[in-house]
Structure 1
Amino acid sequence: MLLEALEYLTTPCPPLARRHGYLAEMVALGARYRRQRTAWAPHVASCHRFIADAVCDLPRGGRALVVGSGRLIEVPLPLLAERFDEVVLVDMLHTWPVRRAARRLGHVRLLTIDVTGALAALDRLPAGNLPLPAPVPPDLPGERFAFAVSCNLLSQLPVMPLAVIDRTHPGTPDAARTAFAQALLHGHLAWLARVARWPALYSDIASLWVRDGQVVGREDSLWGLRLSEPDRRWTWDIAPTPEEDTHHDLRHTVGAWLDASALADAT
Structure 2
Amino acid sequence: MLREAIEYLTTPCQPLARRFGYLAEMVALGARYRRQRRAWAPHVAACHRFVDQAIQRVEPGGRALVAGSGLLIEVPLEILTARFDQVVLVDMLHSRAVRRRAAGLPNVRLVELDVSGALAPLAEALDRRAPLPTGFEPPSIDGAHFRFALSCNLLSQLPLLPLEAVERRAPHTQDADRLAFARRMVQGHLCWLSGIAERAALFTDVDSSWLHRGTVTEVEESTWGLPLPAPDMSWLWDIAPAPEQDRRLDLRHSVGGWFDLHAVTSALPPC
TM over 0.5: yes
Worse-matched range after superposition: 144-153 or 122-131:
122-131
Match of 2:30 in 1: 30
Worse-matched range after superposition: 71-80 or 116-125:
116-125
- 1:9 shift after superposition: 0.4
Percent same amino acid at aligned positions? 57
- 1:142 shift after superposition: 4.8
User: C-alpha root-mean-square deviation of aligned residues, in Å?
Assistant: 1.0
Describe how 1:110-121 pairs up with structure 2 within 5 A: 110-121=110-121
Describe how 1:197-236 pairs up with structure 2 within 5 A: 197-236=198-237
Match of 1:175 in 2: 176
Structure 1 SS opposite 2:104: helix
Q: Deviations over 1:151-187 (max 9, x none)?
A: 0000000011112222222211101101111111110
- Regions of 4+ moved over 4 Å: none
Which residue type is aligned with residue 235 of structure 1? L
Which residue type is aligned with residue 213 of structure 1? G
Structure 2 SS opposite 1:139: coil
Match of 2:99 in 1: 99
- 1:127 shift after superposition: 4.0
Tell me the TM-score normalised to structure 1 length. 0.98
Which residue type is aligned with residue 216 of structure 2? V
Match of 2:264 in 1: 263
For structure 2, list consecutive stretches of 5 or more residues without a partner in the other structure: none
Q: Would the aligned equivalents of 2:91 and 2:112 in 1 still touch at CA under 8 Å? A: yes
Q: Would the aligned equivalents of 2:234 and 2:256 in 1 still touch at CA under 8 Å? A: yes
Match of 2:89 in 1: 89
Q: Would the aligned equivalents of 1:207 and 1:218 in 2 still touch at CA under 8 Å? A: yes
Which residue type is aligned with residue 185 of structure 2? L
Q: Would the aligned equivalents of 1:127 and 1:168 in 2 still touch at CA under 8 Å? A: no
**1:20 matches 2:23:** no
- 1:124 shift after superposition: 1.3
Q: Distance in 2 between matches of 1:102 and 1:241?
A: 34
Structure 2 SS opposite 1:105: coil
Q: Distance in 2 between matches of 1:128 and 1:141?
A: 33
- 1:131 shift after superposition: 4.7
Q: Deviations over 1:200-249 (max 9, x none)?
A: 00000000000111111000111111100000110000000000101110
Match of 1:241 in 2: 242
For structure 1, list consecutive stretches of 5 or more residues without a partner in the other structure: none
Which residue type is aligned with residue 91 of structure 1? D
**1:54 matches 2:33:** no
Q: Distance in 2 between matches of 1:83 and 1:163?
A: 38
Match of 1:77 in 2: 77
Q: Would the aligned equivalents of 1:122 and 1:133 in 2 still touch at CA under 8 Å? A: no
Q: Distance in 1 between matches of 2:141 and 2:34?
A: 33
Match of 1:122 in 2: 122
